[in-house]
């Protein structure tokens, strides 16, 4: 997979290239990543990437020409990428979108700043994506969030794909609680079921806790979940617990 980012702050992306699972994927050649300095595609000696808006108003607007020139060079050298503009006006990015993007051969993220980008840039954009209903100073952080998330689904990036499948949102359920050593701390104990070595009981406990947590925190996810045999068994166990509490 190839991922490129157009930004006026390429050095911000060192956090992806130097730390964690993505840095390892880069070293192993699983992912080809490059943060491109948008200023390299300007034409004036000040390397200007923004200007005042036509029609007046506050703030500055990112110029279209640097984005378009960089895009044209990428197409000439590598073919057309799937282009994403990070924007609070876009569709909210979620786990399903991360999984979809992970199947693309080539992605290009456009990072705007100030009041946004010249509308003519939209001619090369395939989709606008947002990480939530709030505004940041630029598109760099949203791009990093999306890249980190989607790369988890690329084979080889995460050593254990089973851990990815158990993450929150993968199957419309939130993750179950996790525990590690020591067995007891300040009077708080690890549930006994996790210590008995019975894998079927452990799986049932985790599924039940996952369902319980989802029902409490995200009932919208619970309602759209497609329940399998283990889910139904966990629901029955949970129901029996609730009836017992009432009695």
| Binding site, annotated residues | 112, 131-136
**Alpha carbon 199 to chain centroid, angstroms:** 31
Q: Catalytic one among 65, 127, 167, 175?
A: 167
152 included as an active-site residue: yes
Determine whether 115 is an active site residue. Answer: yes
User: Of 2, 65, 78, 88, which residue is the catalytic one?
Assistant: 88
The helix/strand/coil state of 232 is helix
The reply to whether 191 belongs to the active site is no
Q: Which residues are annotated as a binding site for S-adenosyl-L-methionine?
A: 112, 131-136
Burial of 103 (0-12, 13-18, 19+ CB in 10 A): exposed
Give which of 35, 36, 16 is closest to 26, Cα–Cα: 16
Catalytic residue among 152, 172, 207, 209: 152
Residue 101: half-sphere exposure toward Cβ, Cα within 13 Å: 28
Q: Tell me how far apart the alpha carbons of residues 149 and 58 are, in angstroms, rounded to a whole number.
A: 34
Pairwise CA distance, residues 105 & 110, whole Å: 17
Q: Which residues are catalytic?
A: 88, 115, 152, 167
């Amino acid at each position: 997979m190839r991922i490129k980012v157009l930004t006026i702050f390429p050095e911000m992306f060192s956090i992806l290239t130097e730390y964690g699972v993505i840095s390892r994927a880069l070293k192993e050649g699983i992912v080809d990543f490059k943060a491109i300095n948008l200023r390299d595609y300007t034409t004036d000696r000040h390397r200007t990437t923004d200007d005042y808006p036509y029609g007046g108003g506050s703030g500055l607007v990112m110029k279209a020409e640097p984005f378009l020139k960089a895009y044209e060079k990428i197409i000439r050298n590598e073919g057309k990428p799937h282009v994403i503009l990070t924007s609070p006006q876009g569709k909210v990015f979620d786990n399903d979108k991360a999984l979809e993007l992970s199947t693309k051969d080539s992605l290009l993220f456009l990072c705007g700043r100030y009041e946004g980008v010249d509308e003519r840039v939209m001619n090369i954009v395939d989709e606008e994506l947002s990480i939530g209903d709030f505004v940041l100073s630029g598109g760099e952080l949203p791009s990093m969030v999306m890249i980190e998330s989607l790369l988890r689904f690329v084979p080889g990036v995460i050593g254990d794909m089973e851990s990815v499948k158990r993450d929150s949102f993968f199957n419309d359920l939130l993750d179950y609680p996790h525990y590690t050593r020591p067995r007891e701390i300040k009077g708080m104990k690890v549930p006994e079921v996790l210590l008995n070595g019975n894998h079927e009981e452990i799986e049932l406990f985790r599924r039940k806790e996952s369902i319980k947590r989802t029902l409490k925190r995200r009932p919208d996810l619970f309602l759209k979940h497609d329940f399998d045999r283990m889910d139904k068994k966990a629901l029955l166990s949970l129901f029996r617990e609730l009836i017992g509490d009432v009695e």
